[in-house]
Structure 1
Amino acid sequence: MLKLNEGNESAGASFVFLGFSEFPTFKMPLFLLFLAIYAVTVVGNLGMIVVTNTNSKLQTPMYFLLAHLSFLDFWYSSVFTPKLLEILVVKDKTISFKGCIIQFFFAGTFAITEAYLLAAMAYDRFVAVCNPLLYTAAMSCKFCALLVAGTYTWGVLCSTTLTYSLLRLSYCGSTINHFCCEFSALLSVSCSDTHFSQMMVLVVSTLNEACSLLVILTSYVFIVVTIIKIPSTGGHRKAFSTCASHLTAITIFHGTLFVLYCVPKSKSSWLFIKVATVFYSIVIPMLNPLIYSLRNKDVKETVRQLIHTKLLSPSV
């Protein structure tokens, strides 16, 4: 038995990822697929950050929050994808205990922060649609900065709590049936009583989901009521268009999260958990910049200008 919570014994310990080893013939196709997704994620999210800081029209609270969403998606994907690509092509599929804990900590921080950032974006849309005359005052630069700082701080605190619950455990298994240090995967190789850890993740997950979704649902109830009161059809269309991209991102993010953590933790469910984790941690960070850019005229126009000035006419 290897007890990783006993002093310095954890320093030299390591885990072995099984990844998608049950499908050996798909290793190279999966590697190429995930590499392509990661490339689009990096370009899309970093590009969104550049675009929102280039066009003066995009220097608004909505795009300030969107830039931070892209920042989170870039780093969230980067926590998982490089290691996944590595274990698909190399024989050594190990990760040190410290590396595993660090991966979990940052993944938890970015996921929880993103949940509240999406809630902050819902509040932004509520103010923009329901109180447009007070929008500039209500969503001031100082308030937006405090809002974003609060989401990051809370994400770090929650992730620290969950990480601590994992550090209290002893681990007798060294093989993780996953491609990352996901919470349930780590619990599956523990030989300690995991009741405390399970209660912690239940409380933290329920609290964060309930609070973030409450803000989102409340905001959109007021938005829908306000839109219904708008007399013209054109007004309805314009109001809904400002919220459509955000609603799409929320549905994908929380829908996948809900499905992932409602799956029974049995041996037969591990493949589903791994596929859901791929979608949640790798595919969604790629989709968010596409969702916002494809439906936004200002973003598309700024991208066209950047391509024309930087690539097609570099000497100008």
Structure 2
Amino acid sequence: MDLQNQSFIGFILLGLSEKPNHRMPLFSFFMGAYVICIMGNVLILLLISTQSQLHTPMYFLLGNLSFVEICLTSITVPRALYSLLSQDLSISFHGCFIQLFLFHMVGNMDNFLLAIMAFDRYAAICQPLHYTTIMSKRTCITLLTSSWILVNLNATLFTVMTSTLPYCGRVIHHFFCDIPAMFSLSCINTSAHQMVVFIEGSIMLMGPMYFILGSYVLIIRAVLKLSTFTSRRQTFCTCSSHLSVVLLFYSSVIFMYCHPGSLFSAAYDGVISVVYSIITPMLNPFIYTLRNKEVKNAVKKVIQWSKVDGRSRS
């Protein structure tokens, strides 16, 4: 089939592999990861909304992170599943750039949320007497609202800049519409556009990342001043879940967007994008559940309540 001579106006998303025998294994992987991601993050949201001991700024932010992770995977995975199952690889022009806009908006919000959560940990550990004042409900809502405005503006800039390019090719070697893949299809030299994306993207990515690093430098200094090893260990354990998510998220995103365009293949970029767009959102609930005593206690409480409720009904 000649993909370039289709009559529709749009693009072709080739996905991660063009081999027919890879279609069902990929479908099984995407479906399994998506279901686990949705179930895990919905569980986190239910726990935070129903368990009073989790009604704190830290878990309010974690609930927002879970919501963002659900949105992030839902922007790309259902479309990829449809393509793998139906073998319909086409996506309309407008659908492609709506997907690009939503992905970069929600993906950048993930980044900003991790920075806000680092600020929350700094306030809790370095300013414990003023924590409730610093991380008030008004402060949390202000930080979240400001972040949503910034990521919307950034995603709008990227989408307008990318959608106005002239395209000679229509075959995208990716499973969703992303900026590097779109630039490779343009008829013109996109060096200037790539520079704008690099500078703007670096500010949006590195700004929160450096803020997180600075927060943890201050946190580590405060932890080292504690008198006993046990207190240092207990205090640092409160940050371990957040640190694990930060390392997983930033390592994959930096590899994806901060390497020279000619260094790796489209297949490599596709695999790396799976890590930060599917694997990381899928693992986050497990990281926070398995490494967080309060969340584990909330899960046990819900399970015990379910058993008691089941016995009373029987």
Pick one of 179, 186, 191 that aligns with 2:187: 191
The answer as to 2:278 corresponding to 1:279 is: no
Conserved 8 A contact 1:162-1:197: no
1:95 alignment partner, SS class: strand
Deviations 1:52-71 (A, max 9, x none): 11111111110011000000
Counterpart in 2 of 1:253? 249
Conserved 8 A contact 2:252-2:272: yes
The answer as to 2:93 corresponding to 1:97 is: yes
Distance across 2 between alignment mates of 1:20 and 1:47: 30
The answer as to 2:186 corresponding to 1:159 is: no
Pick one of 115, 123, 128 that aligns with 1:132: 128
| Aligned-residue offset at 1:304 | 2.6
CA-atom RMSD, angstroms?
1.6
**Long gaps (5+) in structure 1:** 1-11
1:313 alignment partner, SS class: helix
Distance across 1 between alignment mates of 2:86 and 2:254: 33
Distance across 1 between alignment mates of 2:54 and 2:249: 24
Distance across 1 between alignment mates of 2:81 and 2:239: 35
The answer as to 2:171 corresponding to 1:168 is: no
The answer as to 2:20 corresponding to 1:30 is: no
Q: How does 1:43-192 map to 2 (within 5 A)?
A: 43-192=39-188
Deviations 1:96-139 (A, max 9, x none): 01110000000000111111110110011001011111101110
Distance across 2 between alignment mates of 1:155 and 1:262: 19
Counterpart in 1 of 2:4? none
Distance across 2 between alignment mates of 1:268 and 1:299: 40
The answer as to 2:234 corresponding to 1:238 is: yes
Pick one of 258, 261, 267 that aligns with 1:265: 261
Deviations 1:133-169 (A, max 9, x none): 1101110011111111111111111101111111221
Counterpart in 2 of 1:4? none
Conserved 8 A contact 1:248-1:291: yes
Q: 1:312 to 1:279 in 2, by over 3 A?
A: farther
Pick one of 213, 222, 230 that aligns with 2:209: 213
For 2:99, the aligned partner's letter is: Q
Deviations 1:245-274 (A, max 9, x none): 111100010111111123432496111100
Q: 1:240 to 1:193 in 2, by over 3 A?
A: same
Worse-superposed segment, 185-194 or 280-289: 185-194
Q: 1:268 to 1:211 in 2, by over 3 A?
A: closer
**Structure 1 length-normalised TM:** 0.92
Distance across 2 between alignment mates of 1:239 and 1:310: 32
The answer as to 2:293 corresponding to 1:297 is: yes
Distance across 1 between alignment mates of 2:103 and 2:116: 20
Distance across 2 between alignment mates of 1:265 and 1:24: 28
Conserved 8 A contact 2:16-2:271: no
For 2:27, the aligned partner's letter is: F
Worse-superposed segment, 12-21 or 286-295: 12-21
Distance across 2 between alignment mates of 1:14 and 1:69: 33
Aligned length: 305
Distance across 2 between alignment mates of 1:277 and 1:125: 28
Distance across 2 between alignment mates of 1:267 and 1:214: 26
**Structure 2 length-normalised TM:** 0.93
Calculate percent identity across the aligned residue pairs.
38
Deviations 1:24-81 (A, max 9, x none): 3221111111111100100011111111111111111100110000000000010111
1:15 alignment partner, SS class: strand
Conserved 8 A contact 1:52-1:58: yes
For 1:199, the aligned partner's letter is: M
